[in-house]
Amino acid sequence: MYDFANTIFSSNIVTVFYPFYLSETLGKSEEMNQIASTFITYSNAISSFFLVLLSPLFGVWIDRTGKKKAYLVPFTLVCIAATLLMGVSSLWHTDQQWMGLNVGIIGVIFFFMIAKFFYNSGLIFYDSMISDLGNSRELPIISGVGVAVGYIGTLVGLVVYPLINGKHYENTFIPSALLFLLFSLPIMLLYKERPAKAAAADAQKSLLSGYREIWETFKEARNYRAAFLFMIAYFFFNDAIATAIAVMAVYANTVMSFSTSQFILLYLVSTISSIIGSFLFGYVTRGIGPKKAVSAVAVILIIAISIASLTTSKSLFWIAGSLYGVSMGAMWVTSRTLIVALTPEDKRGQFFGLFAFSGKVSSIVGPTLYGSITWALASSGNIASRTALGSLLILVIIGLIVHVRVPENK
């Protein structure tokens, strides 16, 4: 149920209605549409920066105390409170300006960054709880059910769509926060945590040990050439995927002239494509091997971004959105399988931790690149967004060039 709950936040706030809100309130012209895109991507990047900065501490907290729910609940409540404050700020009618922006809009941006930071931070504790729920045979089923229920949460979260009443996207902030709270109640009230006893060595860890462990793992990873090369490739792949998620709503709306209802339908189709891609590429990976499967996914991603950045046809953009959905789901499946194939069993946990950290870092770089391009080329109108989206091709191609160099054997 927590998968169900947190997906409502990530879908409603991060992907759909926050970008639409900024696009509507700031985007009074083609030039201002680009400025809106810059604020969307920069606010995502700043939130990710603080996550990268502080997430190593959270692992130390878990090691020291053995507790997860004790941290998950307050982090979730802060995220919900910040989302509520996004709604309050958006409804604050004031003529006060700061740096050329209405103070109410600045409040929405500020509380969005807080909400997203605490949302992603809470997931660190939540994801680590799965090891307490079953044995090695049961965990894949539990994980799979969680993902499936999360996708259902995406659909249920869209019940707030009628509240926009024209283009008042801010009307969805408070209801989305309340839905997040409602469906988080089962884990808050009913889940009984049995905290693992922290080892004496873990209890003595300094807070800075989290950073030291990441650095030591990084240095050790260089001794495993295949895994290290793929980590670099994955950094660029994830860069492009994370950025596209952040900008897909405003790009479809401002560049492709999709209405809100058309984008919601496109978003649902992309989500279904992700499910299909995840399922099909499980078999593709088994058939041709994980390295070739990752290459195939990268090619699909290149095709999707190329079409989206160049086309003026809505029909072709639908195709691009569907292909992107396939690549997003498939990359998750194929990359995890390849990590397992390339890493020694006794160090697999370290490598997965390093890949997760790399993913967090990449979620800063891509949005910052996109936002900087739309800012610099704002006077060019929609050409700025097309150029920014096209720049993601460079990231994927670099990733593919590095990936080709990954040795087939361990």
Local confidence pLDDT in tens for the 410 residues of the chain: 998 999 999 999 998 899 999 888 887 777 888 888 899 999 999 998 998 888 777 777 777 777 888 889 999 999 999 999 999 999 887 777 776 778 889 999 999 999 999 998 898 888 777 777 777 667 666 766 777 788 788 889 989 988 988 889 999 999 999 999 999 999 999 998 876 665 555 556 666 776 777 787 777 777 888 888 888 999 999 889 988 888 888 899 889 989 888 998 998 898 888 888 888 888 888 888 889 999 999 999 999 999 999 999 999 999 999 999 899 888 877 887 888 788 777 676 667 777 777 888 888 888 899 999 999 998 888 899 999 999 999 999 999 999 999 887 54
Element (H, E) at 396: helix 382-404
pLDDT of residue 407: 85
pLDDT of residue 37: 87
Distance CA 145, CA 174 (A): 28
pLDDT of residue 349: 65
pLDDT of residue 233: 92
pLDDT of residue 144: 65
pLDDT of residue 195: 62
In the chain, the N- to C-terminal Cα span, in Å, equals 38
Collapsing DSSP to helix, strand or coil, 136 comes out as coil
pLDDT of residue 173: 95
pLDDT of residue 201: 52
* 66 Rama sector, left if φ>0, alpha if ψ -120 to 50, beta otherwise: left
Distance CA 216, CA 100 (A): 45
pTM for the model stands at: 0.81
pLDDT of residue 140: 61
Element (H, E) at 165: none
Q: Write down the H helix ranges in 158-195.
A: 173-185
pLDDT of residue 253: 86
pLDDT of residue 202: 56
pLDDT of residue 196: 62
Tens digits of per-residue pLDDT, 351-378?
777 777 788 888 888 889 999 999 999 8
Using alpha carbons, list the distances in angstroms from residue 267 to 154, 170, 260, 333, 372: 10, 19, 10, 20, 25
- 184-219 in b/e form (b: 16+ CB < 10 A) is beebeeeeeeeeeebeeebeebeeebbeebbeebee
pLDDT of residue 30: 79
Q: Is 135 exposed, middle or buried (0-12, 13-18, 19+ CB in 10 A)?
A: exposed
Check residue 189 and report its DSSP letter: I
Which tokens sit at 394? 């460079």
Distance CA 237, CA 231 (A): 10
pLDDT of residue 199: 52
Distance CA 203, CA 266 (A): 49
Collapsing DSSP to helix, strand or coil, 224 comes out as coil
- The domains of the chain, with CATH numbers, are 1-206 (1.20.1250.20), 208-410 (1.20.1250.20)
CB atoms within 10 A of CB 111: 21
